[in-house]
Amino acid sequence: MRHRLLSAAAAAAALALAASACGGGEDDGDGRRTITVGAIPIVDLAPLHLAVDQGFFADRGIEAEIRNMSGGAQAVPSVASGDLDFAFGNVTSLLLARDAGLPLKVVANGAATTGEQGADVSAVVVPEGSPITSAEDLEGATVAVNNLENIGDTTVRNSVRKAGGDPTRVGFTELPFPDMPAALENEEVDAAWMAEPFLTTSLEAGATEVASNFVDAHPKLTMATYFTSEQVLSEDPELAADFTAAMEEGLAYAEDNPDEVRRILGEYTEIAPAVIEEIRLPSFPTDINRESIRTIADLMEEDGLVEQTPDVDALFADAG
């Protein structure tokens, strides 16, 4: 199928559930609203946890219940059905979801690339001593990504293309991020697209970085965002606005206080303290770079993930 994110049946089921689900947070009787937020226990979610920790949600009469899940494949239908009020997801997953007809809208930024070659929060790495020394050399290689037909392989293909290689000759295999360091060290794959903290773990074990694929796509790439359903936006626009305001405060706090980001990581992830001190942190701007998302949309069409370029503007809450 063209979309691995959701089958047609799953999309239809989610839309049916969305039509009957209750949107918006629940009032606990004293005016305080409880919301559920789908998350992943990774570095990029630090602003959300800091927004809770620093009382940015509480200041707006919101109690945020964070539910960890595997990723966008689980979060997208959960938001569409009303099981979650808000969630975090990468921009490719959300563009695919909109293309499949799911009524989702972006309401706040999530995380962005550092914009620094060789110092970004994700990268393509190869085993120590590999003959692969550049993105061009990935032609004919097998690269591990966490999800096929998503932001990983889309941006890796772009890096290969920009380096002069043939992206259609790169093979991809799906592998969870935690399994990648061992698979790379045992040479079960030729290369792997890794995110933190697994990137730092592999580099310290001797792996070599050959491409900063997010930076290659766009120097200010918005990688992921927070989103909700059109139903929540229509039934409780004040709640959506308060969520956005709390998250923007959390993003600004995270951007200005990297030590606080590292502190909070110790509370919601299983990353070892020594590794937390070494990992690369993403950028946490409050503004979403729509131009960078359009770049991803163009790449999705070029690589055949969608039949026509997704409507990026329609993804945002201010698009109506």
From first to last of its 320 residues, what are the pLDDT tens digits of the chain? 444 444 443 444 444 444 444 456 666 666 789 999 999 888 999 999 999 999 999 999 999 999 998 777 789 999 999 999 999 999 999 999 999 999 999 999 999 999 999 999 999 999 999 999 999 999 999 999 998 989 999 999 999 999 999 999 999 999 999 899 999 999 999 999 999 999 999 999 999 999 999 999 999 999 999 999 999 999 999 999 999 999 999 999 999 999 999 999 999 999 999 999 999 999 999 999 999 999 999 999 999 999 999 999 999 988 65
The CATH class of the 8-113+220-319 domain is: alpha beta
Cα distances (angstroms) measured from residue 189 to each of 174, 214, 279: 11, 21, 23
Q: Give the pLDDT score at 9.
A: 36
Token pair 């039949």 is found at 307
Structure tokens belonging to residue 244 = 């956005």
Q: Measured between alpha carbons, how far is 180 from 147 in angstroms, rounded to an integer?
A: 12
Q: What pLDDT sits at residue 28?
A: 60
Compute and round to an integer the Cα radius of gyration of the chain.
Answer: 19
Could you tell me if 249 and 52 are in contact, meaning their C-beta atoms sit under 8 angstroms apart?
no
122-217 maps to which CATH number?
Answer: 3.40.190.10
How many other C-beta atoms lie within 10 A of the C-beta of residue 112?
27
- The pLDDT value recorded for residue 317 is 85
pTM over 0.85: yes
Q: Which of 66, 61, 111 is nearest to 283 (CA)?
A: 111
The reported pLDDT for the residue numbered 147 is: 86
Return all residues near 95 (Cβ < 8 A) that are at least 6 apart: 293, 296, 297, 300, 306, 310, 312, 315
CA dihedral 1, 169, 70, 282 (to 10 degrees): -130
Rounded to whole angstroms, how far apart are CA atoms 192 and 210?
10
Sheet strand arrangement including 171-174: 171-174, 142-145, 191-195, 122-126, 208-211
pLDDT for residue 5: 43
**Nearest-angstrom CA–CA distance, 204 and 217:** 26
**Intervals of CATH 3.40.190.10 along the chain:** 8-113+220-319, 122-217
How far is Cα 296 from Cα 317, in angstroms, rounded to an integer?
A: 19
